[in-house]
Structure 1
Amino acid sequence: MCRHLAYLGPPRSLAELITAPPHSLYEQSWSPRLQDHGTVNADGFGIGWYPPGAGAAATPVRYRRAIPIWADINLPGLLPVLHSGAVVAAVRDATAGTSRDEAASAPFALGPWLFSHNGSVDDWESLPADIGEPLSAAELLSLEARSDAALLWLLVARRLRSGHAPADALADVVRRTHDVRPDARLNLLLTDGGNLTAVRLGASLWYHAAADRVTVASEPVPGRPDWHEVPDHSLLTTHHSTVSIKAL
């Protein structure tokens, strides 16, 4: 399992989003409260963000490491001076049998897209064949890491490239995966820097929406009634700061 978050809104420092809040993503790396599988998220971390003023369809920047987030001595100096209005970040607890290099840490990227997976898929190597969607040699070679998350991203990205809407791309991959791996845990985040799409299936997911911002995260800020739990087996979409949720 992992913990992750996505933010869309006015530019804020990455420290405000990742390390400063009570029970922050940073703290969840060693002390998650709502994580049912695994106890420590110490197999790496990643942060993706869109530089302010980059415009529509901007290419995001990523910073990923294969060490625990608390072990990176660069972050206390970096996060307060980096600002963005669109951020995806994750701390990783690796699925058994997956690679543990930094390329396996979310977020994954393609063009303007950032993607994160919180959960696990058993026997993920055979998933494409089991859902009737085998990968070409070129796609296998392009797989960024040997992990269930990287494979799910490849399947989602294939749909995005073919013109699927983000919600349709996530929902189709989740449904097909759940059909053949009913025990899979599939919490997904996807953004192009302008809109955010998420799926909750089998792990915790919450959101906070205000007039000009939306945050979706594995765990809420404690004691804040303006955080709302996303129902299990649900698809969340945003348009500006409006959140819509429907059953998968």
Structure 2
Amino acid sequence: MENKSLVDLIRSLVSSNKEIQNLIREQKTEIAEELKLLRKELLENLLKVKEENKAFKIEVQQLKEKLNKVERESKRYKLIIHGFEEGKDEISDLGTCLDIINSKLGVECRFSDVRNFFRLGQPSVQKHRAASLEVVNYFLKKEILKNSKKLKQTQIYINHDRTDQEQAEHKLLYRHLKIAKENNKEAYIRNKVLFINGQSRTPEDLKKEEAMHLLRLEFQRPPPYPTPKRKTSSSDSKNPNHPQKEPLEVEV
């Protein structure tokens, strides 16, 4: 009778064990399916975020281009004039400016040809401020710029009023022009393109070269060395504040 009860107990345990194993398998299957669905959902969300990010970047680039276009249009008729003395007020400064254009450049420019004129920045006793001159048409501006080379032997020079992007590109081009000439290379700038030993480089090319140069420097940088341990000097042993080693006790 006892043997039969023992057999029934074993059978019950085996049956329970099978049920537990089946339950575990079912749970594993459900978890695997849930993980699969979750992974699919995460990938879909990731792709959606990537597409949104891509669209956002395109939109930002388009806005930048529109802003640059608006800024270029606002500066279409403007010139920046450096190096001529400041008078008592802007009216006298404008008269001096027109005299330079008419007499030194040989370009006819009257008060009626000026749309706007003002000095840039705060007054300074150390140097004369540059002046912004806006004329009524683009042809007159081109004539002034064309003849501005006649001022080479003077401290006066006239430039196109550049946008922020044009100013950054201008600085980039002339920085690399200076470096090339310091290395005894034949270099010059024409139509916003730098030529070095016959090879042309646009501002975009120069930006890429600088980025690659910085990347190479980053990889070539040696790892930081650990701080060397301070050596104990003989003066430390005489210092009462310095911890001293206790002498070894030897049993005789």
TM-score calculated relative to the size of structure 1: 0.29
User: Which structure features the higher share of strand residues?
Assistant: 1
Larger Rg: 2
The structure with higher relative contact order (CA 8 Å, sep 6+) is 1
